[in-house]
Amino acid sequence: MSTDTADRIEAEMIACADSLDAINDHFYEQGWTDGLPIVPPTPTRVDTLLTGMAWRDPDALITVIPPAMGEATLRKIAVNAVMAGCKPEYLPVLLAAIEAVTEPAYGLAHRQTTTHAGAPLIIVNGPIVKRLGINYGNGLFGPGWRPNATIGRAMRLILINLGGAVPAEVDFCQHGHPGKYTFCVGEHEDANPWEPLHVERGFAAEESVVTVVNTEAPHSMTENVRTHPIEIIETFAPTMATLGGNNLYSQGHPVLMLGPEHVGHIAAAGWTKADVKMALFERARQPWGLAKNRGKSNGPFFPKWVDTNDDASMVPIVCEPDDLIVIVGGGAGGKSMWCPTAGAQSLSVSKAVETGA
């Protein structure tokens, strides 16, 4: 796919501008969509979307999107954001997410072409979560909230249209998962008794920040009976360290989203976030005798301190406790969510959201 796809999209709008069906058929035939209908990115709609970052030059190069190395200007990002159904005020969040996935640590070129079922999970923190109405409570991974749905979808369209990640042609993800349509949530900071993710990473509480992690689909972990932190951790740890999961073989920055009920029990017992991370670092492990000769046991990022001459040596899912991302989200109930990653080939990246102030 050429790097001027967004320009072609704008130019070819004229040919079928009078028919929504014709526009969608044309975009689908060109491979410019995610398979769902799009909002036609007319020049007027694109210009309106760009008012969300009026302080920025819309045609200045921001970054390039591999593997096609498409040039991502704010205007081209806005074209895809219009197609996804975004509002202008969503644009700063989307831009921060795009800047994050193109950082070297994220490893986007490989994420765009790998067979692994990962997608960029966009975690939003700070005042902008409530200002935009980004869902952080009941059903935050599901349907019903325009900011979550359209910001995440715009990311996917950009990865296709500027990055060239056409499914089954360039993107060889074997199975995919629904997060490859859209994958954007807020952190439930009101229910978080500790520092939220962005503060933990050195940002001010009043800053709005996006963290992007390439994760698999969320996996529900239920504990409706036991309430002591150790008991909850002992329920989670075996799920998080399943044989075959990439984090057991190449670690990385996997995500644990604690539900409000679980985090309430844990904090009431006097535990900190660091305590949770340490307890899971120590318990979410498998013996080398089970991990070897399966999965990805040869690395490439296997912890060097694991004694591969001792079948009883325990293999962790992260190299150190702080590599585990712990956030709070969701509604009432005894469930938390586990989001495994590809491993250390793709690490999390956080970026502040521009305000124009």
In a domain, 29, yes or no: no
In a domain, 120, yes or no: no
What are the tokens at 332?
């009432």
Residue 208 burial by Cβ neighbours in a 10 Å radius (0-12, 13-18, 19+): buried
Rounded CA separation 158/152 (Å)? 10
In a domain, 50, yes or no: no
Q: Note if the pTM is more than 0.75.
A: yes
Instruction: Find, among 190, 96, 176, 178, the residue nearest to 136 by Cα.
Output: 190
Rounded CA separation 94/153 (Å)? 10
Residues contacting 190, CB < 8 A, separation 6+: none
In a domain, 278, yes or no: yes
SS3 content of the chain, % helix, strand, coil (to 5): 40, 15, 45
For residue 299, give the 3-state DSSP assignment. coil
In a domain, 178, yes or no: no
Rounded CA separation 37/82 (Å)? 12
Q: pLDDT digit string (tens) for 213-229? A: 999 999 999 999 999 99
What are the tokens at 308?
């591969």
Which parts of the chain sit beneath pLDDT 50? 1-2
Beta partners for 215? 119, 341
In a domain, 259, yes or no: yes
Instruction: Find, among 209, 51, 200, the residue nearest to 127 by Cα.
Output: 209
**Backbone torsions φ then ψ of 121, nearest 5 degrees:** -80, 120
pLDDT for res 39: 97
CA 265 from chain center: how many Å?
Answer: 27
pLDDT for res 299: 74
Neighbours of 308 (CB within 10 A): 14
Rounded CA separation 69/209 (Å)? 25
In a domain, 140, yes or no: no
In a domain, 187, yes or no: no
pLDDT for res 15: 55
Structural domains of the chain, count = 1
Amino acid at position 103, single letter: E
Domain membership of residue 257 as a residue range: 218-340
